[in-house]
């Protein structure tokens, strides 16, 4: 049975640094982010992203996210990979659960995660996780 969970996690730490900078003002950065204080089953996590910033400040990124959770009374963790974009106002991303990444009682989990956020959401990251438990 597919379940959809709409929640948010606190951004406990965001460490972003340039990896490459170009003459036109664009750059590539790497970010390591810690998520905490989850509700509704997600207890926390981390994600690492590589972002390409255009000279106008908009960006595109790829990410790997690790979430810990208790979903429907079952505890464990799982990994998602995905991509997104920032249009100067809103960051929008979509990730998919990596097959075989579920641990503990979440072994076999499948699904997706989306996030749409603006600076007004900070210091929280809104998430919508749609999943099936094995």
Boundaries of every domain in the chain? 3-132
Residue 9 pLDDT: 94
pLDDT by residue (tens digit) across 47-86? Answer: 999 999 999 999 999 999 999 999 999 999 999 999 999 9
Least confident of 20-29, 39-48, 67-76, 82-91: 39-48
Strand, helix or coil for residue 99: coil
Residue 38 pLDDT: 76
Q: How far apart are CA 76 and CA 112, in angstroms?
A: 16
Q: How far apart are CA 64 and CA 74, in angstroms?
A: 22
Residue 81 pLDDT: 98
User: Which parts of the chain are beta strand (E)?
Assistant: 3-21, 27-36, 42-53, 59-71, 74-86, 90-97, 110-118, 124-132
Residue 133 pLDDT: 96
Phi, psi of 13 (to 5 degrees): -155, 140
Is a pLDDT exceeding 90 seen at residue 134?
no
- CA-based nearest residue to 93, from 81, 102, 84, 101: 84
Residue 40 pLDDT: 86
For the chain, the straight-line distance linking the first and the last C-alpha, in angstroms and rounded, comes to 9
Q: Mean of the per-residue pLDDT values for the chain?
A: 96
Residue 62 pLDDT: 98
3-132, what's its fold? AOC barrel-like (2.40.350)
Is a pLDDT exceeding 90 seen at residue 39?
no
Answer for the pair 76, 69: CB distance below 8 angstroms, yes or no.
Answer: yes
């Amino acid at each position: 049975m597919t379940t959809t969970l709409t929640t948010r996690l606190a951004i406990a730490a965001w460490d972003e640094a340039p990896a490459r900078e170009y003459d036109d003002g664009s750059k590539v950065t790497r970010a390591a982010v810690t998520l905490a204080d989850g509700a509704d089953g997600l207890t926390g996590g981390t994600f690492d992203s590589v972002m390409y910033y255009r000279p106008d400040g908009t960006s595109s990124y790829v990410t790997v996210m690790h979430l810990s959770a208790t979903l429907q009374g079952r505890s464990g963790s799982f990994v998602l990979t995905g991509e997104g974009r920032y249009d100067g106002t809103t960051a929008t991303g979509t990730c998919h659960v990596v097959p075989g990444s579920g641990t503990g009682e979440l072994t076999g989990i499948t699904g997706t995660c989306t996030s749409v956020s603006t600076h007004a959401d900070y210091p929280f990251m809104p998430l919508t996780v749609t999943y099936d438990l094995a």
